[in-house]
């Protein structure tokens, strides 16, 4: 209801148009009866007068119908567009955990398919649904007024049609629910395999994926066919009931015509009203089916809108940047769908401006720890503090200004190189982009393009290599000029020479930035002020490279498994 408020004027006009068109349609057969009676009574004036009224009413019904569609469409499009935007904004407020729970595919289906269902429902609501009660009740009353003796025939028809209709609707409802779940599955599958099309192709998984897709698609088809069966049965069954009733009434009128000769004038309007009743009930039934389908969609949208973001920021806190120090105080964290904690009792302190390396075996929790600094998740226990503030009490804008996160997987968006770099800071000037790109070793390839920073980034950044994407992604992090910079294995696709240059630039040009470097290779963190060593979610050692070589067996093990020449930075 609140969504309709903005469109109050259109709603009222659509309703007025509905009433006008419904009442004018409804009164036409009654006028026809009057005309027939006037013909039998040889009353020429009445025939002409009612004939003109019949034409006028017909025209009014048409014009009102056109206005009705126009205003109904305005309401339906407007409300759906607002709802879609609200839902998208809500999804943007979700934490990682929230999105993982729904799945990206399901959220996409909700934003597109479910929204379409809702739009159709609103359209039908203002075109059909409100017209139905008027036409059903009106033609029912006229059927009885015209020939009261056979009132039971009308009641019988309505009872049979309604009974059958409810029976079918109940079965369809269950099917629509299952249909929607399969639709989510198909959308998830298509999204995943198309995004990962290179993997699918290189491992020759195409036929396998086609088979999986076909299975889901066939199931969807099965549901559609059953829904189609019901649809195909409903129409003829309803028509059969109506024509049997008409035949019965005409038969009874014919049988008693000698006693009631004027009954001959009611046959045509009676058939008219019965057919209006039949069609209206049928359309109402179909609209109800669409409604029950849309109702499921509405439920799925409501589920998104009612979901509370798992992470809530303090809107009243200052939006100014926080300091650069970072502290973990006895932090334990479990992923929403995880059984055991991924990080266990982690405590450490980092001063502003320090360079921190994080090393550990794969799966030891390095990225998870970094995600907690950016508050992509909240710990189960303990506190994460930045600039002395517990992250649970800070403002989101302040935190985003403070922490720049270069993710392990470099993701760019369609647009230009400049628009991607400016995601770090919307107001960054060209020279700032150039400086960041220089540090990230990205300028050389950007400047080779004729349109340099205006070079287009295609969808899913297909026109950039892995290494180029990583460099752009690092540059985007640097454009933000945040007090804290996290590089999560962000130089893995860079050659040794470029990686060294990036590190030198970070060391010399960002002396006041607290930099976290997560790396597989020890050479990448050798010069850090402090290195944190993770093992199976625990912080097992911390210190400089030299200290750790002396004190930490795990660090020594990692060191020894990597080629000594490479570790020492000799090429």
Ligand X SMILES: Nc1ncnc2c1ncn2[C@@H]1O[C@H](COP(=O)(O)OP(=O)(O)OP(=O)(O)O)[C@@H](O)[C@H]1O
Q: Among 58, 261, 299, 363, which residue interacts with ligand X (rule: CB under 6 A)?
A: 363
| Burial class of residue 269, CB neighbours in 10 A (0-12, 13-18, 19+) | buried
Residue 521 sits in the site that holds ligand X (CB under 6 A): no
- DSSP, collapsed to helix, strand or coil, labels residue 484 as strand
C-beta of 131 vs 375, nearer to ligand X: 375
Residue 514 sits in the site that holds ligand X (CB under 6 A): no
> CB of residue 366 vs ligand X: minimum separation in angstroms?
4
Residue 24 sits in the site that holds ligand X (CB under 6 A): no
Strand 343-350 relative to strand 326-333, pairing: antiparallel
C-beta of 123 vs 533, nearer to ligand X: 533
- DSSP, collapsed to helix, strand or coil, labels residue 424 as coil
Stretch in the footprint of ligand X (CB under 6 A) among 25-33, 246-254, 335-343, 523-531? 335-343
Query: What binding mask, one character per residue, do residues 477-496 give for ligand X by CB under 6 A, x or -?
Result: ------------x-------
Helices and strands (H and E) in the chain: how many? 21, 12
Stretch in the footprint of ligand X (CB under 6 A) among 56-64, 121-129, 250-258, 365-373? 365-373
Q: Classify 514 in phi/psi space as left (phi over 0), alpha (psi -120 to 50) or beta.
A: beta
Q: Among 98, 367, 434, 441, which residue interacts with ligand X (rule: CB under 6 A)?
A: 367
Q: Among 269, 324, 360, 477, which residue interacts with ligand X (rule: CB under 6 A)?
A: 360
Q: Cα(477)–Cα(471) distance, rounded to whole angstroms?
A: 10
Residue showing tokens 């309007």: 269
Query: What binding mask, one character per residue, do residues 194-223 give for ligand X by CB under 6 A, x or -?
Result: ------------------------------
> CB of residue 104 vs ligand X: minimum separation in angstroms?
13
Q: Among 110, 366, 422, 469, which residue interacts with ligand X (rule: CB under 6 A)?
A: 366
Q: Among 128, 193, 368, 468, which residue interacts with ligand X (rule: CB under 6 A)?
A: 368
| Angle of CA points 23, 26, 31, to nearest 5° | 110
Residue 334 sits in the site that holds ligand X (CB under 6 A): no
Q: Which parts of 67-106 interact with ligand X (CB under 6 A)?
A: 100
CB neighbours of residue 30 within 10 Å = 18
| Burial class of residue 173, CB neighbours in 10 A (0-12, 13-18, 19+) | middle
C-beta of 49 vs 538, nearer to ligand X: 538
C-beta of 425 vs 515, nearer to ligand X: 515
Binding residues for ligand X, how many (CB under 6 A)? 15
Stretch in the footprint of ligand X (CB under 6 A) among 157-165, 252-260, 282-290, 363-371? 363-371
Residue 342 sits in the site that holds ligand X (CB under 6 A): yes
Q: Take residue 56 and report the two structure tokens written for it.
A: 């006028």
C-beta of 290 vs 342, nearer to ligand X: 342
CA distances from 272 to 151, 173, 242, 266, 471 (A): 15, 32, 11, 10, 74
Q: What are phi and psi of 490, to 5 degrees?
A: -85, -5
Q: What are phi and psi of 11, to 5 degrees?
A: -60, -45
Task: Answer yes or no: are the C-beta atoms of 333 and 390 closer than 8 Å.
Answer: no
Residue 335 sits in the site that holds ligand X (CB under 6 A): yes
Stretch in the footprint of ligand X (CB under 6 A) among 43-51, 188-196, 204-212, 360-368? 360-368
Query: What binding mask, one character per residue, do residues 403-432 give for ligand X by CB under 6 A, x or -?
Result: -----x------------------------
Q: Among 285, 341, 365, 387, which residue interacts with ligand X (rule: CB under 6 A)?
A: 365
Task: Answer yes or no: are the C-beta atoms of 332 and 368 closer than 8 Å.
Answer: no
| β-bridge mates for residue 343, sequence order | 333
Q: Among 364, 441, 470, 498, which residue interacts with ligand X (rule: CB under 6 A)?
A: 364
| Angle of CA points 158, 293, 6, to nearest 5° | 100
Q: Among 261, 299, 338, 466, which residue interacts with ligand X (rule: CB under 6 A)?
A: 338
Q: What are phi and psi of 488, to 5 degrees?
A: -90, 95
Residue 124 sits in the site that holds ligand X (CB under 6 A): no
> CB of residue 236 vs ligand X: minimum separation in angstroms?
53
Pseudo-torsion of CA 454, 458, 459, 464, nearest 10°? -110
Maximum Cα–Cα distance for the chain, whole Å?
A: 120
Pseudo-torsion of CA 407, 409, 414, 419, nearest 10°? 30
Residues that bind ligand X (CB under 6 A): 100, 335, 337-338, 342, 360, 362-368, 408, 489
């Amino acid at each position: 209801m609140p969504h309709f408020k903005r469109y109050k004027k259109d709603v009222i006009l659509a309703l007025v148009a509905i009433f006008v068109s419904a009442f004018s349609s409804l009164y036409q057969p009654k006028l026809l009866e009057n005309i027939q009676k006037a013909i039998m009574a040889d009353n020429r004036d009445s025939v002409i007068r009612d004939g003109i009224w019949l034409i006028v009413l017909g025209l009014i019904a048409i014009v009102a119908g056109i206005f009705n569609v126009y205003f109904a469409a305005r309401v339906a499009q407007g409300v759906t567009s607002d709802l879609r935007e609200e839902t998208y904004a809500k999804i943007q407020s979700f934490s990682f955990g929230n999105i993982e729970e729904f799945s990206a595919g399901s959220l996409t289906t909700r934003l597109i398919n479910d929204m379409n269902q809702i739009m159709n429902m609103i359209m039908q609501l203002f075109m059909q649904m409100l017209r139905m009660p008027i036409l059903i009740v009106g033609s029912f009353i006229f059927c009885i007024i015209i020939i009261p003796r056979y009132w039971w025939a009308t009641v019988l028809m309505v009872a049979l049609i309604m009974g059958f209709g409810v029976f079918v609707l109940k079965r369809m409802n269950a099917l629509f629910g299952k249909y929607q779940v399969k639709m989510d599955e198909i959308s998830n599958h298509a999204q995943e395999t198309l995004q990962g099309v290179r993997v699918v192709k290189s491992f020759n998984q195409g036929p396998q994926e086609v088979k999986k897709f076909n299975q889901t698609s066939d199931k969807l088809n099965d549901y559609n066919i059953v829904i189609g069966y019901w649809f195909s049965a409903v129409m003829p069954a309803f028509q059969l009931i109506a024509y049997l009733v008409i035949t019965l009434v005409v038969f009874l009128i014919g049988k008693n015509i000698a006693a009631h000769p004027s009954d001959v004038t009611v046959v045509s309007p009676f058939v008219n009203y019965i057919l209006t009743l039949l069609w209206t009930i049928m359309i109402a039934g179909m609209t109800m089916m669409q409604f029950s389908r849309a109702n499921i969609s509405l439920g799925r949208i409501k589920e998104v809108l009612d979901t509370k973001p798992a992470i809530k920021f303090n809107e009243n806190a200052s939006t100014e940047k926080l300091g650069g120090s970072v502290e973990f105080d006895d932090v334990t964290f479990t992923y929403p769908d995880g059984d055991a904690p991924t990080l266990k009792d982690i405590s450490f302190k980092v001063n502003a401006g320090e360079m921190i390396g994080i090393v550990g075996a794969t799966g030891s929790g390095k990225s998870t720890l970094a995600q907690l600094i950016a508050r992509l998740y909240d710990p189960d226990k303990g506190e994460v503090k930045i600039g002395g503030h517990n992250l649970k009490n800070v403002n989101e804008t302040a935190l985003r200004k403070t922490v720049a996160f270069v993710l392990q997987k470099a993701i760019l968006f369609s647009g230009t190189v400049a628009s991607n770099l400016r995601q770090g800071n919307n107001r960054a000037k060209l020279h700032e982009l150039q400086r960041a790109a220089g540090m990230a070793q990205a300028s050389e390839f950007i400047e080779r393009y004729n349109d340099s920073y205006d070079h287009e980034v295609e969808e899913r950044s297909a026109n950039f290599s892995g290494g180029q994407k990583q460099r752009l992604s690092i540059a985007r992090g640097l454009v933000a000029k945040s007090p804290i910079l996290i590089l999560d294995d962000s130089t893995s696709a860079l050659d040794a020479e470029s990686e060294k240059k990036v590190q030198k630039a970070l060391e010399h040009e960002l002396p006041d930035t607290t930099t976290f470097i997560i790396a597989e290779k020890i050479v990448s963190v050798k010069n850090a002020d402090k290195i944190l060593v993770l093992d199976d979610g625990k912080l097992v050692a911390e210190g400089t490279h030299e200290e750790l070589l002396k004190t930490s067996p795990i660090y020594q093990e990692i060191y020894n498994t990597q080629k000594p020449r490479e570790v020492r930075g000799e090429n």
